[in-house]
Structure 1
Amino acid sequence: MTFLETILGEVLQLFKREGIEANSEADIIRKLDIRQSTYHELFLNKPDMVLQVIKFDIKQQNDKQQELLKMANNPVEEIMMLLVDGIKSMKEINPVFISDLQLYPEAWQVSLDNLANNNQQVNAEILNRGVLEGYFRRDVNLQLVTKIILEQFFMMINPMVFPPDKYDLAEVFRSIYLYYVRGICTEHGGKMAEEFFAKNTL
């Protein structure tokens, strides 16, 4: 891992723990224990830092996602593993982080683009295989279902719909996706889903 990657990793953890706006650039420099000149060699300003941190986070998430999927035995487990990982990730993030991120349009757009492109493509591939292998219902409209999954995520992270001070985002995530996935499963797939949930604590 390069020096920049180490710094990005530390800032990412700080953001996820405290939010982005909780610390000024001076606070971040102090907490990173680096010189101001070093900071400005790495980042043009705070928006640039946030953008680099988000790109770093996306790469880590996508790499982790691919490794996670290799452990699944079938498409139902793949969807469920992504669900469980998503819930765990939401529990580790201060809800303020998501609302703060929307204050940085370029970084927020990069995050949305990754959801719309990578995540939607991954879900579509899993669902397609699941239909062919008999785990998901054949009458499922793949394009529509992947779109619904994406839009449900946008709804979930919208603070106007689910204010973080009133709703546990991890529980919202679970409630939205757990029951939706069950609904698109065949009887065979549903049994696989039930077995998975019996072995995994959400």
Structure 2
Amino acid sequence: MTFLETILDEILQIFKREGIEANTEADIIRKLDIRSTTFHELFSSRENMVLQVIRYDVEQQKREQSELLAKASNPVEQIMMLLVNGIQKMKQINPVFIADLQKYPEAWQVSINYVTNNNQEVNADILNQGIIEGYFRKDLNLQLVTKIILEQFFMMINPAVFPPGKYDLAEVFRSIYLYYVRGICTDAGGKQAEEFFARTNL
């Protein structure tokens, strides 16, 4: 890991734990234990800092997802492992982080583009393979299903729909996706899903 990556990772952890707006530039510099000149050599502005952090986060997510999917033995497990991973990540992130991120249009767009493109490509591939192997129903409209999964995500992170102070986002995530996945499975896929649920603490 390079010096910049180390710094980006540390800032990302601060953001996910406390939100973006909770710390001033001076606070972040102090927590990173680096010189102000070094900070300004790395980041031209606060907006640039947030953008670089989000780009770093996206690359980390891609790497983690690839490693995660490689561990699954079938498409149902792949969907379930992505689901559980999503729940775990939601539990680790302060909801304020998502709300704060929307104040930085360029960084927010990078995040949304990744969620949109990744969701459609990865889920379509998994669902298609699952249909071929008999785990998901043959009558699925892949374009429609992946679109629904994506829109459910946007609904979940919309504070106007699920205010963070009133709803546990991890529980919202679980309620939206677990039951939806069951509904698109065949009997064989449903059995795999139930077995996965039985050995996984959600």
Which TM bucket (shorter chain)? over 0.9
| Residue aligning to 2:188 | 188
| Residue aligning to 2:128 | 128
Shift of 1:162: 0.2
Q: Distance in 1 between matches of 2:116 and 2:98?
A: 17
- CA deviations 1:44-82 (Å, max 9, x no partner) are 111100000001011001100000000000000000000
Instruction: Structure 1: give runs of 5+ residues left out of the alignment.
Output: none
Shift of 1:157: 0.2
Runs of 4+ displaced beyond 2 Å:
none
Task: Give the partner amino acid of 2:45.
Answer: N
Task: Give the partner amino acid of 2:27.
Answer: D
| Residue aligning to 1:71 | 71
Using structure 1 for the length normalisation, give the TM-score.
0.99
Name the count of aligned residue pairs: 202
Task: Give the partner amino acid of 2:148.
Answer: I
Task: Give the partner amino acid of 1:148.
Answer: I
| Residue aligning to 1:25 | 25
| Residue aligning to 2:176 | 176
Instruction: Structure 2: give runs of 5+ residues left out of the alignment.
Output: none
Identity among equivalent positions (%) equals 75
Q: How does 1:1-202 map to 2 (within 5 A)?
A: 1-202=1-202
Q: Distance in 2 between matches of 1:107 and 1:170?
A: 23
- What SS does the corresponding residue of 1:200 show, helix, strand or coil? coil
Shift of 1:119: 2.3
Q: Distance in 1 between matches of 2:119 and 2:43?
A: 28
- What SS does the corresponding residue of 2:88 show, helix, strand or coil? helix
Shift of 1:116: 1.0
Using structure 2 for the length normalisation, give the TM-score.
0.99
Shift of 1:118: 1.7
